[in-house]
Amino acid sequence: MLIFVKTNKPVFLYGVWAVLVLLSGCKILPGDRSESIGDEIVIAGERFHTTTKVVLWTDKGGYDAYRGHRHDQQDVGPPRDRPDRLLRFGSLRRNGPAGWKERIQSEGCAPEDLTEVIDTVVVHYDACGSSSRCFHVLHDLRGLSCHFLLDVDGTIYQTLDVKERAWHAGTANDRSIGIEIAHFGAFPDAEDADRHYERSSLGMRLKASSLEGTSAEGAYPYPSRQDLFTGEIHQQNLYQRDFTEAQYVALEKLLVTLCKALPSIRPVVPRSSSGLVESELRDETPGQPVAGIVGHWHVGSHKVDPGPAFDWDRIEAALGDADLSGVNLD
C-alpha cells in the first residue's frame, strides 16, 4: 500500500485562466464543445473546453509530436536512440472491435468512435522537471510520445490528437491516453528527492537553477503540500516532494474533460479490496482490467511514476464532484 504523511499546506494564489471564460459571456464547463477561446484540447479533430490554459501542437510555443525531424536539430530526422524511424507514434489504435479499423479508415474518426477503444488515462511524472525538457527527451532522444505534457505552472501542452496511439505506456498504448506531469521524480534516498529543492521563508520550493532555461522558468515553484512523502511501490520504498497546486488544478480539469468527452473512461483510480490505492501492477485477468485513471506503475512492473506523493484521493474526489452524466460508472 502507499504510506504518506499529510499536513496543512499554505494557500497560494495562481493566475486564473477562468478570466477567459468570464469574458466569453457564458458559462463554460470542462468537456463542453463550443467556440474557441484557447483552453481546448483536441479529440478526433474536435475541440473540447477544459477551462484551463492549453497550448496545442499547432500553437506558437507548442510541442509538435507529428514532426518527423528533431526540434533541437532541424536537419536531423530520426531520434537519437531510434535512428531507424521517423514517427514517434502510431497512427491507428489496434484494439477496436471487428470492423472498427476498416470503418475508421473509410469514414474517418469521431470522438464517439474512440469510446470503443479508449478506457484508460495513464498518469506519469516526466523525471525532467519541465515540459520543454520532457518533450526533448521523448521526441528528440528516445523516439516516444505522450498526448499531454503538464508543466510546473499548470500549462497543458497537447502534442498529438487523442485519437493517435502515443508511445508512452507499452502494452497499454492502444487503450490509453498519456499525461506527463513535470516533476523530477521519486527516489530511494530522501536526500536525492530534495536535490532540486531549497528551503525559503514560505517553505520548500523548487530551485530556480533547476528550472532555468526551461518552459518552467519563472513558475510558482512550491509543492501543493509541504511534506516529504514516502511510500512503497513495487516493493520499493521511495521519497518524493509533491506536485504543484497549479498542476493538480489543471490535471483535475483535464481529466474531467476527458471523462466527459469519452465516457468509456471510468472516473476511478485503482484500489484494492481494502480501499487503498494499488501499489503494484494491476491484475489484467478478466473481471479486473487496468482501466480508469491509473499510474504508470499500474501498467508497467518496472515503473514507479507518478510516485508516492501523487494525491489520488484528491483526483478521485474532483472527478466525483464533477457533472459526469453519461460516463461509465459500472
Q: Is residue 233 classed as helix, strand or coil in its secondary structure?
A: strand
Residue 147 has pLDDT above 80, yes or no: yes
Structure confidence by residue, pLDDT tens digits, 60-83 = 999 999 999 998 888 888 999 999
How many Cα neighbours within 13 Å face the side chain of 36? 9
pTM of the model: 0.89
State how far Cα 283 lies from the chain centre. Answer: 22
Q: What is residue 22's predicted lDDT score, i.e. its pLDDT? A: 41
Architecture field, domain 23-90+99-321: 3-Layer(aba) Sandwich (3.40)
Q: Check if the beta carbon of residue 126 is closer than 8 Å to that of residue 117.
A: no
Residue 93 has pLDDT above 70, yes or no: yes
Give per-residue pLDDT as tens, 127-143: 999 999 999 999 999 99
Query: What gap in Å lies between CA 26 and CA 40, rounded to an integer?
Result: 16
How far is it, in rounded angstroms, from Cα 86 to Cα 45? 23
What pLDDT shows up at residue 310?
Answer: 98
> Could you tell me the residue ranges of all domains in the chain?
23-90+99-321
What mean pLDDT do residues 304-327 have?
91
For 204, phi then psi, to 5°, come to -70, 140
Phi first, then psi: what are they for 285, rounded to 5°? -70, 155
* pLDDT higher than 90, residue 184: yes
Place of cell 503538464: 150
pLDDT at 16: 42
What whole-number distance in Å separates Cα of residue 65 and Cα of residue 168?
12
Give the CA angle between residues 199, 130, 70 to the nearest 5°: 155
